[in-house]
Amino acid sequence: MRLLHTSDWHLGRRLHGEELLADQGVFLEWLLALAGAERADAVLVSGDVYDRAQPSADAIALMDRTVASFARARIPLIISSGNHDSAVRLQYAGAVMAEAGIHLRTSVEQVVDPVLLSDEGGQVGVYGIPYVLPDAVSSVLDVERSHSAVLGVLLQRIREDAAERALDRVVVMAHA
């Protein structure tokens, strides 16, 4: 299984007042070309797709072009949300995008919904853990308010889910 992992694209970021979208577009074109040249089975993006929770229209347009390019190339993208992303906004059209091979993991409930990939060795379950604020989920998960406690519970749920699915190969990606 050939997986290419990235994170922290921060689309729409400005650096010292300079717009970075053109440079970010060049990077994303390079990433697509690299994924194709290396025959990646999937590209994983562990959070902070956008630089802010309400990204600019130009940042959204760049993301739209990027996911469309990956879908056309039939290279799956597996994306989890980060602390700079709005999980709700990033998840928009998630069901439709999944049909095109763009898999979004933005909520605690989706942690036990792996993207299943296959190769000559069988199935691989890719589990995405989005950035989770302990204050927002500790009561739902019935754990203390700490990142380590929340991540511990989520990892245990992933282990249990992988065992139920009889997955021998598991990849966990997180923005934590």
- Cα 101 from Cα 148, distance rounded (Å): 31
Query: What does the mean pLDDT of the chain come to?
Result: 95
**Residue 108 — φ and ψ, nearest 5°?**
-60, -35
pLDDT the model gives residue 164 = 98
Contact 150, 143 (CB under 8 A): yes
123 DSSP β-pair partners: 118
- Residue at 85: amino acid letter: D
Residue found under tokens 């630089």:
51
Residue 52 has, within 13 A of its CA and on its CB side, a CA count of 9
Give me the pLDDT at residue 142, please. Answer: 87
**Contact yes or no for 157/151 (Cβ under 8 A):** no
Q: What is the pLDDT of residue 139?
A: 84
> In this structure, what DSSP letter does residue 53 have?
S
pLDDT at 50 over 90: yes
pLDDT single digits (tens) 109-156: 999 999 999 999 999 999 999 999 988 888 888 889 999 999 999 999
